[in-house]
Chains A and B, each alone.
Chain A
Amino acid sequence: QQPVQSPQAVILREGEDAVINCSSSKALYSVHWYRQKHGEAPVFLMILLKGGEQKGHEKISASFNEKKQQSSLYLTASQLSYSGTYFCGTEKGEGGSEKLVFGKGTKLTVNP
């Protein structure tokens, strides 16, 4: 069951903030956030494990609400380099060989 991401697309001006959501109908063990630029591989941003933690990475942070099976990615004071498609990948179990199930992605465009 793939997670549902919203919104599908966001257009920002440099310096604006954005929130990208990822929700699942199944209980999750972890949520992984990636950013992909056109023609490139997904680049890992952060992982959130069961426990409802929040993580930060420069001006990008994320939260994971285990009860609601939802994760949100927060991008503050966006930069041009933030443009790309953001994917959440979810895992239902803690085994090392668990697959990631990806959402359809959120395309973020940051304009000057």
Chain B
Amino acid sequence: EPEVTQTPSHQVTQMGQEVILRCVPISNHLYFYWYRQILGQKVEFLVSFYNNEISEKSEIFDDQFSVERPDGSNFTLKIRSTKLEDSAMYFCASRGGSFWGASTDTQYFGPGTRLTVL
């Protein structure tokens, strides 16, 4: 069964450093998302991406964050200058659908990248 993959599984970084989290969505999916989950808390939306541009972003997704789909398969989240409060599990998700209509499918989550900022 196709699945979303993410690398690395765990990233430790120093405050102020840049990190890039990578995701390979399910092939043929059109919609891509990043969510994060601080330990013990709920899953929070960061950004959605469709047709090579951001569809929506949350207030968490400030200028320090960016997303990119550099080729036909990868989807990346970059944090330019990490802060202690960025420590969380980051999940990538993807969803199928048509170019012209709504998707009645769910979002499939990857295994996550645990980011620890020291």
Q: Identify the A interface with B (CB < 8 A).
A: 2, 30, 32, 34, 40-44, 47, 49, 87, 89, 94-105
Contact = CB atoms under 8 A, between A and B. Distances in A.
Contacts of B102: 94-96
Interface stretch (B12-20, B63-71, B105-113): B105-113
Interface string B95-110: 1011001111111111
Contacts, number: 68
Nearest to B104: A49
Q: Which of B43, B55, B98 has the most CB of A within 10 A?
A: B43
Nearest to A42: B109
Interface of B: 30-31, 33, 35, 41-45, 48-50, 55-56, 58, 91, 95, 97-98, 101-112
Given A47-B104, A49-B104, A102-B42, A97 B56 contact: yes
Q: Which of A30, A98, A101 has the most CB of B within 10 A?
A: A98
A31 B47 CA distance: 19
B48 A99 contact: yes
B48 to A, nearest CB: 5
A99 B107 CA distance: 9
A96 B31 contact: yes
What is the predominant secondary structure among interface residues of chain B facing chain A? loop
A40 B30 CA distance: 24
B91 A42 contact: yes
Given A42-B43, A100-B45, A47 B110 contact: no
Contact of B103 (A43, A96, A105): A96
